Chain A
């Protein structure tokens, strides 16, 4: 298949989210391939990051936190519900902002120590 042919197939390719069942286009608005549902942010364990290559697990991955690497972009950390492996993936433009903010502020909503003392620092 030619390069333009494979790209047009990719443009119309869709997948169904493993959690919410939403039919999602495989390409994000910025042209990159997505790896999580923009509505519920859940993903699927396709790649094995410890050994490398495809994973046998193919189970659902829940979003657990937001991470910020050096360049300042937000990354979404997923954990596989079956084998517990962690992956990080970049966000796409149409991801659910409400769920993203929920993940970002959740540590501050349940602090393990009182935050009042930090006001004096």
Chain B
């Protein structure tokens, strides 16, 4: 489907560190959530930072994406979805070990059903604030 808004090109940060054993080899990694083998090449992005099937990520970066300076290495699950000004979805990941948040752009082969489940989570729960207000 064509984008509804004209895509403003935003250059990506250059990535020096490649994930994998030894920091340099390997063109795939194993997801910590669903244990699937995930290739590093991702359509639409140069940074594969989450599993396209279950959207789980690993806490390896500290402040700058790709710096690999975090000592946590905890599992990060998708907490919510943010929409950038150009209409692109960004997954908010939440580290289950230390509680840190990070924002990661979605890739072209991400599971659409899993993405939609995360995006619908605020609207599907029982704590919808407007409904609470209407019930009073």
Interface residues in chain A, defined as those with a beta carbon under 8 Å from any beta carbon in chain B: 49-50, 64-69, 72-75, 77, 79, 86-88, 91, 95, 97, 100-101, 104-115, 118, 121
C-alpha spacing A113/B4, complex, angstroms: 11
- A-B contacts, CB under 8 A, total: 90
A95: B residues at CB distance < 8 A: 129
User: In the complex, which of the residues A50, A67, A114 contacts B62, with contact meaning CB atoms closer than 8 Å?
Assistant: A50
B87 and A115 form a contact (CB under 8 A): no
Knowing A114-B1, A118-B113, the reply to whether A107 touches B63 (Cβ < 8 A) is no
With known contacts A65-B81, A104-B122, A97–B127 Cβ distance under 8 A: no
In the complex, how many residues of chain B place their beta carbon closer than 8 angstroms to a beta carbon of chain A?
35
Query: How would you classify the secondary structure of chain B's contact residues: helix, strand, loop or mixed?
Result: mixed
A68 with B121, Cβ < 8 A, contacts A77-B82, A106-B83, A110-B4 known: yes
Q: Which of B103-136 contact A (CB under 8 A)?
A: 103, 106, 112-113, 115-116, 119-123, 125-127, 129-130, 133
The answer to whether A107 touches B81, judged by C-beta atoms less than 8 angstroms apart, is yes
Contact B79 A69 (CB under 8 A): yes
B122-A66 in contact (CB<8A): yes
Q: What are 13 residue pairs bridging A and B, where the CB atoms are less than 8 Å apart in the complex?
A: A64-B82, A65-B81, A67-B122, A68-B121, A69-B79, A74-B129, A97-B129, A101-B130, A109-B83, A111-B116, A112-B87, A112-B115, A121-B113
Q: Is the interface of A mostly helix, strand, loop or mixed?
A: mixed
Closest CB in chain B relative to A45 CB, distance in Å: 14
- Further pairs besides A66-B80, A77-B82: 8, Cβ < 8 Å: A49-B101, A50-B100, A64-B82, A67-B94, A68-B125, A87-B101, A108-B119, A110-B5
State in angstroms the CA–CA spacing of A77 and B94 once bound together.
11
